[in-house]
Amino acid sequence: MKLTLKEERLISTLIIQEDVEAIYSLLSSKHDPIFSLEILPYYALFINECQSHLGINEIPHDIALQIKDIRNYIKAYTNGYGKTNGENEADAIQPPSLTKRS
Give the chain as a DSSP string.
-PPPHHHHHHHHHHHHHHHHHHHHHHHHH---HHHHHHHHHHHHHHHHHHHHHHT---S-HHHHHHHHHHHHHHHHIIIIIT--SSS-GGGGGS-HHHH---
101 — phi, psi (to 5°)?
A: -115, 145
Supply the pLDDT for residue 65.
77
Residue 90 covered by a domain: no
Supply the pLDDT for residue 2.
87
- Tens digit of pLDDT for each residue in 10-43? 898 899 999 999 988 888 887 888 887 778 878 8
Number of domains in the chain: 1
In sequence order, the 6+-apart residues with CB closer than 8 A to the CB of 31 are: none
Residue 94 covered by a domain: no
Q: Model-level pTM?
A: 0.56
Please give the Cα distance from 75 to 90 (Å, whole number): 8
Residue 91 covered by a domain: no
Residue-number span of the structural domain to which 51 is assigned: 5-80
Residue 39 covered by a domain: yes
Residue 29 covered by a domain: yes
> Which percentage of the chain shows pLDDT scores above 90?
5
